[in-house]
Structure 1
Amino acid sequence: MAKALRSLRRIVLAPDLAEVSFARRGFAPLPTGHAAARLQDVPRAVVCGFEWAMEASGTREVADRLELLDAEQRGFGYEGATMAFTITDVMGRGQRTRELLDGPGRPHILLAYIGIGFAMARLPRVLWKKVLPDLTGQPFHPVMSWLAVDGYGFDLAFFHTRRWVDEQRVPASYPWQGAPDYFPRAVDQGIGRALWFIHGARPERVEAAIRSFAGHRRPDLWSGAGLAAAFAGGCGAQEFDTLRRLAGAHAPDLAQGAVFAIRARDLAGYVPGHTAVAASTLTGLSVQAAVKLADDSAVTDDAAGPVPAYEQWRRAVHAHFRPEGAMSR
């Protein structure tokens, strides 16, 4: 019976591989070449992770299956697995999400938060208070749990592009980590990440899409685009350079997102070549220097207040790239 219920949940809640193809979603055609093709592997890895977790008997089985993904895509598999475990935990009061993230998923914690956001997009808001596991003792918890809201925004834009990108709707606020006013901004960071995929890693299209949004939303959108570009790639050095140039005054936002992506890659233990190129081109730093900047800027006290510690951390990184004398955000 339990296995039958897991299968039912998988069928009802997970998109199949065909549904996440860029052509099926109506996204911009990908440029030719290996780098662009790898970009489409990202949502496929997420779906595989989800399905494997839904069918698995435990976290060890999921981790063994995720090892079948190459190192570049494995973190995305953990996104999908965390999404699945979050849904089953909330619906059945289990502890699989915590077991995964305290165990083999620990190096992928930053992407796992995004997977929690994918689950949020499929759960009623009344259940959101149950989605975040107790990860006390982990260095990025709960400060970086705002990436769950980022993941929620990404899911909205990826699967409901007309509403959240074309019509540029703003979601109702939610008191995540006691900061309801910041919730829409974190959603925009996820929408900015989605734009990198929706527009096929083509800098000119990404810039035009961001420019169509209201001015106050653009910094977070550029940050999200920088995170996606540096983490997922899909292009080469020339395109990264074009992206940085087109960002203009928002280049510090782009660089801040890239730094967080580089930190996440380093934490997972594998930094692909495109991330190293993005580090150099989008931030002017080596991978090691970007990681050091992220760690030196870290804000670990998530005390309640008008500015979440997560945003304080983002601002500290952003300040490193801001021209001297420029006004802060």
Structure 2
Amino acid sequence: MLRQDLALADFGARRFRLRSGAAREQLETSARSFLAGFNAAAEWRSEDRLASDIAAIDAPMRGFAFEGAGMACALLDILTCARGRRTRALLDGPGSDYRHLIHVGTGWAFAKLRLRPGPWARTGTDPLLRWLAWDGFGFHQGFFHSDRVVGGTRVEPGLTGDRRAIRDQGLGRALWFHECADPDGVALRIAEFPAGRRGDLWSGIGLAATYAGGVSADELALLAGHAGTYRAELAQGCAFASAARRLSGIVPRHTETAAAVLAGAPVAVAAGWTDQAMARLGPHDGTSGQYQRWRAEIRQLWTGHVQGEQ
């Protein structure tokens, strides 16, 4: 009953921007991989079977499949009051190298059920990475409710502060898909949002451009130019994506190119900023404020890197 139709990934049906070139196929394949992972986890009968199903997906796309699997597991956990049992099994088992993506996927489940990530999201998940559920929540809203959330720049009632900021990072990732990785389209779209939200949106763009790809080095350079005063936010998103790719052990060429252009550093260096920033935080208290400080520390490390090269 939970199985999802892969046609949901069609940009034409979603009324997203359509452009010639490789971007549409790259991003639609990412979305279909998400749905394939969701379907595999929704029918999960054993760890070996799930691992085998996802292993059949093209290696650079497996992160999206595990994001979808994270959504399915969280959805089933919520519906059956399982207190995160399936999600923990996924994180500790076949998805152990895709922890970032699985945490993002849990946010999709809440959004699908018209709920907001709350206390349950803490069960069995990383105290810092669990805030990525709000990122997934934001992506879902932008992908499936684009008229209201993208065109209308709406935010869910009562959503403010850190949660809104993290949600907007996810919305920024969705904009990369909505605009079919068009740098000019992305910049024009973000300019329609209030200035106080643009930094988080650019962070999401950096994450999606680095992880999902779809553009050339020249287009990435154009994107970086469009980011303007939000270059640090763009680089922070790039660092997040680099860390997720490094953990998986699968770093495609487009991620290497994006790290070089958007962060001005190799993937290993950009990913390392996330570790250094986390170490600066001290003991994890699991608060949204600490997650936001993590992002801020990454921006500072990027700034120091750039200044050191001048």
Normalising by structure 1, report the TM-score: 0.87
Which residue identity lines up with residue 131 of structure 2 in the other structure? W
Structure 1: distance between partners of 2:245 and 2:298: 17
Structural mapping, 1:15-26, within 5 Å = 16-26=5-15
> Are residue 166 (structure 1) and residue 154 (structure 2) matched?
no
Structural mapping, 1:45-84, within 5 Å = 45-84=33-72
Structure 1 unaligned runs (5+)? 1-7, 136-140, 175-179
> Are residue 250 (structure 1) and residue 202 (structure 2) matched?
no
- How far apart are 1:124 and its partner, in Å? 4.3
- How far apart are 1:132 and its partner, in Å? 4.1
Change over 3 Å in CA distance of 1:59–1:290 after alignment to 2:
same
Q: Which residue of 2 aligns with 1:156?
A: 141
Structure 2: distance between partners of 1:308 and 1:323: 22
**Structure 1 residues 274-302: Cα deviation after superposition (integer angstroms, max 9, x where no partner):** 00000100011011211222211113533
Q: Which runs of 4+ in 1 moved over 4 A?
A: none
- Contact between 1:301 and 1:309, CA under 8 Å: does it hold in 2? no
- How far apart are 1:128 and its partner, in Å? 4.3
2:284 equivalent among 302, 306, 309: 302
- Contact between 1:107 and 1:267, CA under 8 Å: does it hold in 2? yes
1:266 equivalent among 242, 246, 270: 246
Identity %: 37
- Contact between 1:143 and 1:300, CA under 8 Å: does it hold in 2? no
**Structure 1 residues 190-246: Cα deviation after superposition (integer angstroms, max 9, x where no partner):** 111111000010100000000110000000000000000000001110110000011
- Contact between 1:143 and 1:310, CA under 8 Å: does it hold in 2? yes
Does the residue aligned with 1:200 lie in a helix, a strand or coil? coil
Which residue identity lines up with residue 45 of structure 1 in the other structure? S
Which residue identity lines up with residue 150 of structure 1 in the other structure? D
Structural mapping, 1:1-329, within 5 Å = 8=1, 10-11=2-3, 14=4, 16-33=5-22, 35-94=23-82, 95-125=85-115, 128-135=118-125, 141-173=126-158, 181-298=161-278, 299=281, 301-303=283-285, 308-322=289-303
**Structure 1 residues 47-71: Cα deviation after superposition (integer angstroms, max 9, x where no partner):** 1111111122133321111000111
Structure 2: distance between partners of 1:127 and 1:111: 16
Structure 1: distance between partners of 2:10 and 2:275: 36
Structure 2: distance between partners of 1:30 and 1:45: 21
Structure 2: distance between partners of 1:57 and 1:300: 39
Structure 2: distance between partners of 1:45 and 1:126: 25
Structure 2: distance between partners of 1:126 and 1:48: 24
Structure 1: distance between partners of 2:282 and 2:144: 33
Which residue identity lines up with residue 157 of structure 1 in the other structure? G
- Contact between 2:103 and 2:133, CA under 8 Å: does it hold in 1? yes
Change over 3 Å in CA distance of 1:226–1:46 after alignment to 2:
same
- How far apart are 1:125 and its partner, in Å? 2.7
- Contact between 2:187 and 2:226, CA under 8 Å: does it hold in 1? yes
- Contact between 1:173 and 1:183, CA under 8 Å: does it hold in 2? no
Structure 2: distance between partners of 1:212 and 1:127: 27
Structure 2: distance between partners of 1:272 and 1:162: 33
Structure 2: distance between partners of 1:110 and 1:56: 20
Q: How many residues align?
A: 302
- Contact between 1:82 and 1:112, CA under 8 Å: does it hold in 2? yes
Does the residue aligned with 1:107 lie in a helix, a strand or coil? coil
Structure 2: distance between partners of 1:75 and 1:145: 17
Does the residue aligned with 2:237 lie in a helix, a strand or coil? helix
RMSD after superposition: 2.0
Change over 3 Å in CA distance of 1:323–1:250 after alignment to 2:
farther
Structure 2: distance between partners of 1:25 and 1:214: 25
Which residue identity lines up with residue 124 of structure 2 in the other structure? D
